[in-house]
Amino acid sequence: MMFLNSISDPQVFFSDAELALITALEATFPGITHLLCLWHMVKNVETHARRNTFRRVRDVEASTSTGVKWKDSEAHRNFCDTFLRVM
């Protein structure tokens, strides 16, 4: 118990966007700075975008004869630019 009393409350907390966790943080540590974890944000984008956008891109790649890969395409650059602006 002495150990717990010797450490101060956290000033910053990184997490995903879990609403229950955010609510608990605000109730437990008022004024704490809450930042979203970049790894969780990227995984969330990959999960949700893959369902629609990336599936269509793979279909286009499979049907194109130019041999241009998605990662080398202008669409990929535009996606990355937009993603970074949103972040």
Q: Which of 23-27, 41-45, 77-81 has the highest mean pLDDT?
A: 23-27
The answer to pTM > 0.85 is no
Asked if residue 75 lies in contact with residue 49, where contact means CB atoms within 8 angstroms, the answer is: no
Do 87 and 46 lie in one domain? The reply is yes
Tens digit of each residue's pLDDT (9 = 90 or more) over 54-75: 555 555 555 555 666 666 777 7
Residue 78 scores a pLDDT above 70: yes
Say how many domains are in the chain. 2
Closest Cα to residue 80, out of 55, 48, 45?
45
Q: Residues 28, 19, 82, 72: is their CA dihedral positive or negative?
A: positive
Q: Which domain holds residue 6?
A: 1-36
Percent of the chain surpassing pLDDT 70: 66
Please indicate, yes or no, whether residues 22 and 51 belong to a single structural domain of this protein.
Answer: no
Same domain as 30, residue 47: no
Alpha-carbon distance of 5 to 58, in angstroms, equals 55
Residues 40 and 21 sit within 8 Å (Cβ to Cβ)? no
